[in-house]
Amino acid sequence: MNAPTNRIRAGDQDRERVAARLQQASGEGRLTLAETEDRLAAVYAATYVDELSGLTRDLPEPAPPRAPRFPVPLRVHAAVVAVLSALLIARFVASGAPFFWPAAPMFWLGVSLVLHAVVRARGRLVPY
């Protein structure tokens, strides 16, 4: 009977995660093609998680994903403001009014967008 071990067996997801990291490092020029092939062969031959961690030990940690500069809710809000502003301008042109009356509603639409952005930046809204 085999002696119990404290080592954790690697799963397919563990292997695929390490393989993707190695392929990314190869694409960045951190590994040669031969090194990449050798390490990938070792990834798929690995039985334990500690064997996998040794294959990426000399590689830098991947950068965390960057948050989009303009989150989707702000982009949607901006699109609504743009469409409503275009409709207001079209209505103004069709009405033949002597003054640019859409300025006031467009101003408040812009204010609503700025306030939305400020509130999101301060973290008062629940993330989407």
Q: Residue 4: which pLDDT band, with cuts at 50, 70 and 90? A: low
What digits encode the pLDDT tens for the residues 94-114?
998 999 999 999 999 999 999
The pLDDT of residue 17 is 93
Q: What is the DSSP code string of 62-103?
A: PPPPPPPSS-HHHHHHHHHHHHHHHHHHHHHHHHT-SS-TTH
* Cα distance between residue 2 and residue 125, in whole Å: 55
pLDDT, residue 68, reads 67
Provide the CB-side half-sphere exposure for 108 (13 A, CA): 5
Q: What pTM was computed for the model? A: 0.50
Confidence of residue 19 (pLDDT cuts 50, 70, 90): very high
User: What is the structure's pLDDT at 41?
Assistant: 95
Other C-beta atoms lying within 10 Å of the C-beta of residue 31: 20
Cβ neighbour number for residue 25 with a 10 Å cutoff: 19
Three-state secondary structure call for residue 126? coil
Half-sphere exposure of 88 (CA within 13 A, CB side): 16
Which residue has 């204010």 as its token pair?
Answer: 111
- How far apart (Å, rounded) are the C-alpha atoms in residues 126 and 48? 40
DSSP state of 68: P
